[in-house]
Structure 1
Amino acid sequence: MSQDRNEFFVIRIPDTGSLLDAVRIIAASGLTITRCHFNRSLDPVTAFFSVSGDEWACTRGAQALLDDGYLQTTVTYPKSVQFTVIVPEIPGTLHRILTILDTYNAEISSLSFDNRGKYPDALHIMLRVLNPDKTEELIRTIEAEYPVKIEGYDCGDSCDDGSLFYVRYAARVSEILDGVENPHILELLHQFSHVAQQLTEYGKEYQDVLEQILLNGKRLKETTGDGFYADVQKIALADTLTLYCFQLPGGGSIFVIDAPDERIMIDTGYGIYHEDVLRMFAAYGLGGKDDFTRIILTHGDTDHCGAAGFFNAPVYTHEGTWDIIKTNNRAWGATTQDLVLEQVYTVMINLFARMTPPEEVTLLPGPGVVKRGEFPVLSTFNAGGYNFEILEGHGGHQHGLIYILCKEAGVLFTSDTILNLKHLSPERSAYNNFAVYLVTTVNVDPDLVKSERKALAKLALELDQELQESGKRLLYCCGHGPVSVMENGELTPVTEPATYRH
């Protein structure tokens, strides 16, 4: 017996009765409906269903829905046609015409006839035919029995009955993604609809959620090329060690540790910014995709790891991060890993941001007996004669998250556990709010992240106090925001960032 699987159907609902009929077909196929969404006021002909069942039932159900004209395999709706039929005063004429329309699976948008009106023999019809190639054949079939006058084809907004919502939405998604083909666009519509449906339970409006998803992708696309910019800090840690922090328009920062013997990138930013980042690196004398000795990924969110596959350098990361990348689920390994919001958000942002992971990575070893505060030391590496430690986080923000510490040079890379949100630009703050809106919290374990942040802040404070005895300060290299020092309990940029533009 084959194992049950989950499947989805996007179903065309031309009339109220067809909703019942579609559900009957699904049930008769031996499938269990796990989710449905239909809103006639939004789009009166599109319904979404998730089902579960064995492979044979899924195949049988899909074919049955297709045979009866319900299953949508494309988001391109047929063109509208508006025409008038001159009908004789013979009983059964309307029934005969409707029978012809039903034979061709026509979706009637409007129908008007009044034998006591100004045109008593005129039946006005506007419709769509599910198979556009059959439109002319339908007209010829009616013309064989009754006179027909065509008013127009594809009459646009002037005769739109509101059933193009998802078609237009799909077109906007496709534009952001530079074209996406069926059936992938249908899968995206289904997933976006699902997350929007889930967020209504948090008091958010269905259509507003769908709009926020589009704005997220649009913002990323608009900040590439001529729209790209970055805030840059260049900090001399020692004679042999220079730190660069590049705050991109959206998402997390890229850090580069430049030393005579090593050029290390910590996090890569979004894949969509890759070409712009290479131009920026060249402007700062940091070479190109072949000029890094290693890349370290702090965690699996695409704004921190999404361009790693573009570089010809060994990539080091935690096993949990690699699992998140492979499963396309940012909540993998956490108690929330099965929640729809996290799963759909990962799919969405990875597409919009052109997630390009490496083909393979070097996994960091497991924790040993050595710790820094509450955090196990997983591995060490050397750059410019300085020793760097890689620490394992607790998994509050995301499973597999790591920190990087060089006590001698006074730098701590805090990833997304400690952030300098106060000194983000308004544009970056607004962009970050997309993620919060769409998943309600960016931390996969909100309770755990509080204790983890407290433990990391305690470690950082102790290191800072120790460094101050020798006239140094600890630099907080946050996943978002400028490189900072702690002053009176607040993170303050250690230097004023310079703005880079092409």
Structure 2
Amino acid sequence: MKLRFIARMPNGPGALHRAADIIHKYEGNISRIHYDDRIDPHTAFFEITVHGQEAVENIRSELHRIGYLQESLEPIGFLKFNIFLPNRPGALVEFLNHTTSSKANIAFLDFDEKGKHPDRVTVALTIENSKVIDRLLNDLKNHYRIEILEYDPRGKQLDNTVFYLKFAQELREIIGEAEDTFLLKLIYDINHIVQELTNLRQDPHKVFDSILATGRSLRDTTGAGFYADVQRIQLLDDVQLFCFQLPCGGNIFIINAGDEMAMIDTGFGIYHPDVTTMLQRYGLGDLSKLKHIYITHADADHSGAGGFFSAPSHMHQGSSEVIDRTNRAYGSKIESSILEEVYTKLITLFSNFTPPTRREIFPTQVLDLQNIFPVIQRFSVGPLEFEVLESLGGHTFGHVFYLCRKHGLLFTGDSLINFDSFTEKRKKYATLATILMTSVNVDSDTARKERMALLEIAKEVDKELRPSGRRCLICGGHGAISSLTEDGSALVVPAEYPIEHYTHNS
């Protein structure tokens, strides 16, 4: 049986040894341990293999008895004050009796009888149960003159001696109140990727900062903070294409063909209320016209709002399996990567991932080939006829592309993107996933091959359309709708399809 736990223990000689002795006593085998005093000198993470439930309970019981087993994440309060003690033997001991009975830890103590204030002691305390702070203060005020210097019941000013407790409180501010059991499991998983990335010479604090920045960026770009960059393209007299670039990535495309609408990718679930308002502002609010949703791949910023719509979502079987397993590396050669698995859990949590429940799975029979990509399905949106191209799995397993050759539309998901069209905010957000996973592609070599093949397809379509004065429009999963430069080596935003900025107040 596997037992995973977080140990909170003294920062002194033999502390880790004591935990290891208990594990050894019950024939446990340590398969993972991580302790780094640069992060938190009191916290270690263990994964052990044991024989039977009895051994699990015995280990947990003994760790609990010595106070090592971290089972809660109560906010730690911080209190700094001056206290004036009588000048007599034993005065300091009497004062310390009050702090000890409250289970307060002394973080700072300053007293010098030869100084300017021979009766004054400056004290800083940390208290794991913040409810005790008020009781302790009332107790001290009944016995001593006291001056409060700092009072922080939520522990925001604490140093890194309680880093993981501070980090838990910062996570709560992003995701809302959560059970301690849930947060402890989440912090255990986060520590695992910190361990992996530290071994790859990544600064651990940069990893923690990137996790918090991801959650805060999503939270802060909803409601009044929501915005989008929008392109509107008149494809035919009665057919319009809309591209909505959401704040933290994941474009939504709407094809409006009169009585019928189709959506390609849904954006993050957390943006759904804002997206609904935005669609109404652009005359697309009648969702009864939305007949079909087409998903390029399973990442949360492309499929994470599908469950909010009544229209069925069409996707590859691989994408459906990635969603169900909550692991974006599923089906790839790095399926066992802890980085990919934990990142998927984090982004699922932060983004209110609400994946499609009405799923229509593309068939697997190969109908044709477009360059290196099998064509596995064909569908129409109004007069537009599309082919579904199956990727080779460079970005994620189950990724597909949508090609409307006659009208020059190529929806490439995250396999071909105009990065130069990103705003600085979007560039900054995009780097966070790279920090936490080292790469957003599950197979970088295959992803490069796919990108070149997609460019070749775009060049072919461009060549076919140029006599009629039209171009192939590359609709990437992020950034602006773009076309090829004259030499076909790069992507640019066509001048005839300008980008307009949307906010709820604009």
TM exceeding 0.5: yes
* Per-residue Cα deviation, 1:207-254 (whole angstroms, up to 9, x for no partner): 121012111211111111111111111111123421110011111211
The 1:444/1:158 distance shift into structure 2, 3 A limit, reads: closer
Is residue 45 of structure 2 the alignment partner of residue 48 of structure 1? yes
Match of 2:270 in 1: 272
- Closer, same or farther: CA 215–123 of 1 in aligned 2, 3 Å: closer
Q: Is the 8 A contact 1:253 1:269 kept in 2?
A: yes
Equivalent residue number for residue 407 of structure 1: 405
Quick one: structure 1 residues 407 and 42, their matched pair in 2 at CA, closer, same or farther if it must change by over 3 Å? closer
Q: How far does the alpha carbon of each residue in 1:368-403 deviate from its partner, in whole angstroms, 9 at most, with x for none?
A: 242222211121111112321111100001110000
Q: Could you tell me the percent identity over the aligned residues?
A: 38
2:378 matched residue in structure 1: 380
Q: Contact 1:296–1:317 at 8 Å: present in 2 too?
A: yes
- Equivalent residues in 2 for 1:98-109, closer than 5 Å: none
How is 1:94-493 mapped onto 2 (pairs within 5 angstroms)?
156=152, 162-287=160-285, 290-487=288-485, 488-489=487-488, 490-493=490-493
**Equivalent residues of 1:86, 1:123 under 8 A apart:** no
| Distance apart, 1:329 and its partner CA | 0.9
For residues 67-111 of structure 1, the C-alpha deviation after alignment (integer angstroms, 9 at most, x for no partner) is 33211111115657899999989xxxx9xx999999998866579
2:222–2:274 CA contact under 8 A, matched in 1: yes
1:37 alignment counterpart? 34
Q: What is the Cα deviation at residue 288 of structure 1?
A: 5.2
| Distance across 1 between alignment mates of 2:339 and 2:376 | 31
Aligned residue for 2:349, secondary structure, equals helix
1:295 match: secondary structure: strand
For these two proteins, the number of residue pairs brought into alignment is: 490
SS at match of 2:275: helix
Letter in 2 for 1:363: I
Asked if the contact 2:76–2:165 (Cα under 8 Å) also holds between the matched residues in 1, the reply is no
How big is the shift at 1:299? 0.6
Per-residue deviation, 1:491:
1.1
TM-score, length-scaled by structure 1: 0.85
Partner in structure 2 of residue 8 of structure 1: 4
The answer (yes or no) to whether the contact 2:303–2:356 under 8 Å persists in 1 is no
Tell me the amino acid that sits aligned with residue 11 of structure 1: A
Retained in 2: the 8 A contact 1:240–1:384?
Answer: no
Q: Do 1:230 and 1:501's aligned partners in 2 also have CA atoms closer than 8 Å?
A: yes
Q: Distance in 2 between matches of 1:85 and 1:22?
A: 42
Structure 2: state its 5+ residue gaps.
Answer: 137-142
| Matched-pair contact (CA < 8 Å) for 1:228–1:276 | yes
In structure 1, distance between residues paired with 2:105 and 2:432: 37
CA distance 1:136–1:491, change in 2 (3 Å): closer
Unaligned runs of 5+ in 1: 139-147
Partner of 1:499: 501
The answer (yes or no) to whether the contact 1:232–1:247 under 8 Å persists in 2 is yes
Q: Which amino acid in structure 2 is aligned with residue 491 of structure 1? A: L
After superposition, the CA RMSD in angstroms is 3.8
Amino acid at match of 1:501: T
Amino acid at match of 2:6: V
AA at the equivalent of 1:209: V
Give the C-alpha shift of residue 336 in structure 1. Answer: 1.0
How much does 1:204 deviate?
2.1
Q: SS at the partner of 1:355?
A: coil
Q: Secondary structure, in 3 states, of the residue corresponding to 1:163?
A: helix
